[in-house]
Amino acid sequence: MRKRRKGLLTLAVLVIAALLAPSADGRADGNEVTVLGTPLGMPHVEIDLAKFGIYKDGTHPVETTKGINKALKWAQEQGIKSTSLPRGTYLISKDSRIEMVGNMTFTLDANTVIQKETNGKESYQTLFVGYGTDNVTIQGGTYRGDKDKHDYTKKDSLYSSGTHEGGYGIVVEGAKNVTINSVKAINFTGDGLTVGGKGTLAKDFYPAHFTLGAYDDKGKPVASATKIRTVSSLPLTNEIIQKEREFELSNLINLPWTFDLYFYKADNTFLSSLKGQRARTIIALPEGAAYAQAVFEKSSTAGIYMELWNKAVSKDVVVKNSEFAYNRRQGITIGGADRILVENNYIHDMKGTAPQSGIDAEGGFGENGNRNSNLTIKGNEFWNNAAYDLILYDGRDAVVDGNHFASKGAIGLAVSDPFTGVMVKNNHFDGTRINATHDVTFTDNRMNDSFTTFEGPNIVIDRMTFTDSVLSISSKVPFGVTASNIVMYNNKKQQNALALWGKPIKLKDVTIYGETKIGTVVGGIEDGSIFERLRVIGHSGGNLPRGTYIDSVFEAAPGSMKELSTRYSGSTVLDGCTFKSTTMGLYYESADGSLTVRNSTFEVGSNNPAITIQAAKAAVIENNVIRAGKLSSTSMAVIKLNDVSKSKNPFTVAMAQITGNTITTNLAAKGISTLYTGVGAPSYTVTDNVLVKAVLETKADDVVTNNLLR
DSSP label at residue 502: E
Q: Tell me which of 368 and 570 has the higher pLDDT.
A: 570
- Please state, in angstroms and rounded to a whole number, the distance separating the CA atoms of residues 31 and 20: 8
* Confidence tier at 32 by pLDDT (50, 70, 90): very low
- Please state, in angstroms and rounded to a whole number, the distance separating the CA atoms of residues 543 and 428: 29
| Confidence (pLDDT) at 541 | 85
| Confidence (pLDDT) at 30 | 36
- Residue 255, SS3 per DSSP: coil
| Confidence (pLDDT) at 561 | 67
Which region among 19-33, 216-230, 589-603 has the lowest average model confidence (pLDDT)? 19-33
On average, the pLDDT of the chain sits at 92
* Confidence tier at 406 by pLDDT (50, 70, 90): very high
Give the distance from CA 460 to its chain's centroid: 13
> Percent of the chain at pLDDT above 70?
94
| Confidence (pLDDT) at 605 | 83
Tens digit of pLDDT for each residue in 414-473? Answer: 999 999 999 999 999 999 999 999 999 999 999 999 999 999 999 999 999 999 999 999
Query: Per-residue pLDDT averaged across 135-156, rounded?
Result: 97
Exposure string (b/e) for 496-530, b if CB count within 10 Å is 16 or more? bbbbbbbbbbbbbbbebbbbbeebbbbbebbbbbb
The residue type found at 709 is L
Give the distance from CA 483 to its chain's centroid: 17
The DSSP line for 598-651 is ES-EEEE-SSS-SEEEEEEEEEEEES-EEEE-----TT-EEEEES-GGGTTSBP
* Confidence tier at 573 by pLDDT (50, 70, 90): very high
- Residue 592, SS3 per DSSP: strand
| Confidence (pLDDT) at 581 | 85
DSSP label at residue 679: B
- Please state, in angstroms and rounded to a whole number, the distance separating the CA atoms of residues 209 and 205: 6
Query: Per-residue pLDDT averaged across 676-680, rounded?
Result: 94
Which region among 150-154, 461-465, 605-609 has the lowest average model confidence (pLDDT)? 605-609
The residue type found at 184 is K
Enclosing H/E stretch for 10: helix 2-20
270-278 vs 258-264, strand pairing mode: antiparallel
Query: Per-residue pLDDT averaged across 588-610, rounded?
Result: 93
- Cβ contacts of 389 within 8 Å, gap of 6 or more: 347, 357, 358, 359, 382, 403, 405, 406, 407, 410, 411, 412, 413, 432
The residue type found at 195 is V
CB 305 within 8 A of CB 253: yes
| Among the listed residues 477, 479, 478, 570, the one whose alpha carbon sits nearest the alpha carbon of residue 527 | 570
Query: Per-residue pLDDT averaged across 545-558, rounded?
Result: 94
Report phi then psi at 139, rounded to 5: -125, 120
Which region among 279-288, 410-419, 536-545, 696-705 has the lowest average model confidence (pLDDT)? 536-545
- Cβ contacts of 191 within 8 Å, gap of 6 or more: 168, 169, 327, 329, 330, 331, 332, 333
Does pLDDT of 558 surpass 90? no
| pTM for this entry | 0.90
DSSP label at residue 532: E
- Please state, in angstroms and rounded to a whole number, the distance separating the CA atoms of residues 351 and 325: 9
Tens digit of pLDDT for each residue in 212-253? Answer: 999 999 999 999 999 999 999 999 999 999 999 999 999 999
- Please state, in angstroms and rounded to a whole number, the distance separating the CA atoms of residues 168 and 187: 10
- Residue 159, SS3 per DSSP: coil
Query: Per-residue pLDDT averaged across 474-492, rounded?
Result: 97
| Confidence (pLDDT) at 560 | 72
Query: Per-residue pLDDT averaged across 126-150, rounded?
Result: 98
Q: Contacts for 645-648 with beta carbons within 8 Å, 24 or more apart?
A: 646/676, 646/678, 647/675, 647/676, 647/677, 647/678, 648/678, 648/679
Query: Per-residue pLDDT averaged across 85-107, rounded?
Result: 98
CB 206 within 8 A of CB 305: yes
DSSP label at residue 290: -
| Confidence (pLDDT) at 4 | 35
| Confidence (pLDDT) at 20 | 37
- When computed from its CA atoms, the radius of gyration of the chain, rounded to whole angstroms, is 36
- Residue 51, SS3 per DSSP: helix
Tens digit of pLDDT for each residue in 501-526? Answer: 999 999 999 999 999 999 999 999 99
> Percent of the chain at pLDDT above 90?
87
| Among the listed residues 520, 510, 562, the one whose alpha carbon sits nearest the alpha carbon of residue 545 | 520
| Among the listed residues 363, 371, 406, the one whose alpha carbon sits nearest the alpha carbon of residue 385 | 406
- Please state, in angstroms and rounded to a whole number, the distance separating the CA atoms of residues 323 and 380: 10
| Confidence (pLDDT) at 12 | 38
| Among the listed residues 467, 451, 550, 477, the one whose alpha carbon sits nearest the alpha carbon of residue 507 | 550
| Among the listed residues 612, 574, 619, 613, the one whose alpha carbon sits nearest the alpha carbon of residue 595 | 619
Does pLDDT of 369 surpass 70? yes
CA atoms within 13 A on the CB side of 166: 12
* Confidence tier at 42 by pLDDT (50, 70, 90): low
Does pLDDT of 37 surpass 60? no
- Residue 126, SS3 per DSSP: coil
- Cβ neighbourhood burial of 681 (10 Å; 0-12, 13-18, 19+): buried
The DSSP line for 309-355 is EEEEEEEEEEEES-EEES-SSEEEEEESEEEEEEES-EEE---SSTT
